[in-house]
Amino acid sequence: MTTIPSSPSAADLSVERSPSPARLTPDQSVYVAGHRGLAGSAVWRALAGRGFDHLVGATSSEVDLRDREATMDFVSAKRPDVMVVAAARVGGILANDTYPAEFLSDNLRIQVNLMDAAREFGVSRLLFLGSSCIYPKFAEQPIKESSLLTGALEPTNDAYAIAKIAGIMQVQSIRKQYGLPYISAMPTNLYGPGDNFDATNSHVMPALIRRFHEAKQAGVDEVTIWGSGTPRREFLHVDDLASALVFLLENYDSPETINVGTGIDVTIRELAETIADVVGWSGRLRFDTSKPDGTPRKLLDVSRLRGMGWAPSVSLRDGVESTYRWFTGNLNTIRVEDGLVGLPTH
């Protein structure tokens, strides 16, 4: 059993502050929490491609990150130099709207346990991965980081958003109290290899890829899509996300979260038409307006990250094509969890 020390005294808080971040080196140990998930697996690939051979990961069956004692014991044993918090309970509109209690409770416990363990056991650099749903439903577009907490959230995923906002606050609190250069980043909608392709509980991109593929295979000439098709969404390939996160770990040190995206959005109808064309399905699209649209538009202002010198490299069309190739090449192993139990991003 891990023994957790009592709160620090004022003298403890006067220790020398950590220096600004430096370039990551392959000899460092990096714990990617959520390394089997969409974002975490991309970060793992990016680091492995740069020669990092001290990568640490654990599945949810090996370490349940909702369990504080288990999380503390794991981080204490591994003692990573760097931690990327990409573990979370995730899902689309249906899952978020149906199971808000689990989305709030699971995500709060995961991130609190990981960040407390990181601070306690000497993790010198940490990046917390949030979500663009933290911003108000009717935030001015494109959404600046300063829009946080300026308005009401989208009600279909407000529980998940509140958990992620709490994660940002925890990063800022650790920085303020302990001087550690921990940071947070808010990505836009993600897609790519390793996604969850469940037809009802996944996010819009993988759900449509699967639906159109199955419609093509079955000779179905109509596919129904939730909502009106008019909401606008921005999509970022996970390999671009991983590139951005490594860049931020080496170059960013601020309490304010930072947006990660492309700065380009499309309507859900335009996205569906692009995916259908890539898949080779030429049937009719029917939009079910009795179902919720969610936020009308969610485009991130990425000027701060662009100003630092980073830019995405994968176009939406190219990204959809590569994701569909990955999907068809992994039909026997793709994740189709219902998102109702377990933590599929571990």
Catalytic annotation, residues: 160
The amino acid occupying position 306 is R
Query: 36: annotated binding-site residue?
Result: yes
Element housing 47 (H / E) = helix 38-49
Query: 187: annotated binding-site residue?
Result: yes
- Record the tokens describing residue 320, joined without a space: 């959809």
Query: 262: annotated binding-site residue?
Result: no
d(C-alpha 280, C-alpha 291), whole Å: 26
Query: 127: annotated binding-site residue?
Result: no
Contacts of 329 (CB under 8 A, 6+ apart): none
Contacts of 85 (CB under 8 A, 6+ apart): 33, 34, 110, 111, 114, 115, 126, 127, 128, 129, 167
Q: Which residue has the tokens 């009592």?
A: 6
Query: 113: annotated binding-site residue?
Result: no
Query: 192: annotated binding-site residue?
Result: no
Query: 34: annotated binding-site residue?
Result: yes
DSSP bridge pairs for 125: 82
The amino acid occupying position 170 is Q
Query: 132: annotated binding-site residue?
Result: yes
DSSP bridge pairs for 225: 287
Query: 10: annotated binding-site residue?
Result: no
Query: 233: annotated binding-site residue?
Result: yes
Specify the 3-state DSSP secondary structure of 165.
Answer: helix
Q: Enumerate the known binding-site residues for substrate.
A: 211, 226, 233, 293
